[in-house]
Amino acid sequence: MAFLETCDLATLKLRKKMKKTIRDTPVLLIHHEEKVYALSDRCPHRKASLYKGGFKDGIITCAAHGAEIDIKTGAIVKNPKITFFSVKVPAAKTYAVKIQDGKVFIDL
């Protein structure tokens, strides 16, 4: 794997979250508490874009069925629900992040 440039840190700080496609891989970048986190922009449940979800206190909520995901680890904090049924899903894929010369790189 290799660290690939994704965006300017200053732009990400301003926007708080961005989605990028790096080598055909959709990636969600989030600036939170002076750190940058990167995870797959595809929900581990049914692949909805997590970029469209809500974000609060380090947790992103998938807009499709409400899965809650810890952006630091990708762990599922709350399983998605379809009608009344809770569905167990694997953790979201996360990527190591490196900041260099004002640019954000992820290990893809």
Q: Which residues bind ligand FES (CB under 6 A)?
A: 43, 45-46, 48, 62, 64-67, 80
**Of 7 and 71, which has the nearer Cβ to ligand FES?**
71
Report the candidate in 67, 87, 63, 88 with the shortest Cα–Cα distance to residue 77: 67
**Of 82 and 99, which has the nearer Cβ to ligand FES?**
82
**Of 31 and 42, which has the nearer Cβ to ligand FES?**
42
Closest distance of CB 1 from ligand FES, Å: 26
Q: Which residues contact residue 19 at a Cβ distance below 8 angstroms, ignoring those fewer than 6 apart?
A: 26, 27, 28, 29, 41, 49, 51
